[in-house]
Amino acid sequence: MEIDHHLYEFGSVEYHVQSSASDPHDTYLSIATPLLSQGVLPSHGLSHYTIEMIKGICSDVLEIVEPAREGYQLTLRLDLAKIPQGKDGAKVIAQISSVQAVILSSQLKEMLQNVNSQDTSQGMYKPIKLVYHPREPFFVIRQVISMSQINLFFGKIKTWPI
């Protein structure tokens, strides 16, 4: 019996789950998530920082498969036999489910670090468009004394001093 299933979250994150009766303990999970911002982050996959963060999640249960399946940024091999039963198993599953959040948060961290090194044009910084959900983009703009987030969907602006 073979399992080969695609799942989509918000229309922008794709998961591909594969399992085989010939190898019942191992399940492969591939994740494709859009880049938060084009042109700010490397387009050749996940950064070293992100990979290290993922390796720290349940390293006895999951392993990063290199190279990732075509069309995905990350492929994981999950050893289901190593997931404990009961409440401990639920904790492990919760940690595994945080992988997608780790990818997005590390992209955001890298993007914000790169905002500091951004060139100015006539004393103005260019807005950086962030897209997690295609219909709800927002922008980050570095200002001389603060950083602002503009959410077009809700019409809100948040500003933090630098």
Within this chain, do residues 69 and 56 fall inside the same structural domain, yes or no? Answer: yes
Within this chain, do residues 6 and 62 fall inside the same structural domain, yes or no? Answer: yes
Within this chain, do residues 104 and 144 fall inside the same structural domain, yes or no? Answer: no
Within this chain, do residues 141 and 103 fall inside the same structural domain, yes or no? Answer: no
CA dist 158 and 146 (Å) reads: 10
Residue 72: pLDDT over 50: yes
Residue 146: the pLDDT is 60
75 against 37, higher pLDDT: 75
Strand stretches in 94-137, DSSP E? 128-130
Domain total of the chain: 2
Q: Which pair of structure tokens corresponds to residue 28?
A: 């492969």
Partners of 8 in beta bridges? 14
CA dist 105 and 111 (Å) reads: 10
Residue 129: the pLDDT is 72
Residue 41: the pLDDT is 46
CA dist 119 and 82 (Å) reads: 49
Least confidently predicted of 19-33, 75-89, 100-114: 100-114
Domain that holds residue 130: 118-161
Within this chain, do residues 153 and 104 fall inside the same structural domain, yes or no? Answer: no
Residue 72: closest CA among 31, 13, 44: 31
Residue 119: the pLDDT is 58
Does 134 sit behind a cis peptide bond, omega within 30 degrees of 0 on the bond before it? no
Residue 101: pLDDT over 70: yes
Residue 121: pLDDT over 60: no
Q: What is the DSSP letter of 121?
A: B
Could you tell me whether strands 138-142 and 74-79 are parallel, antiparallel, or unpaired per DSSP bridges?
Answer: unpaired
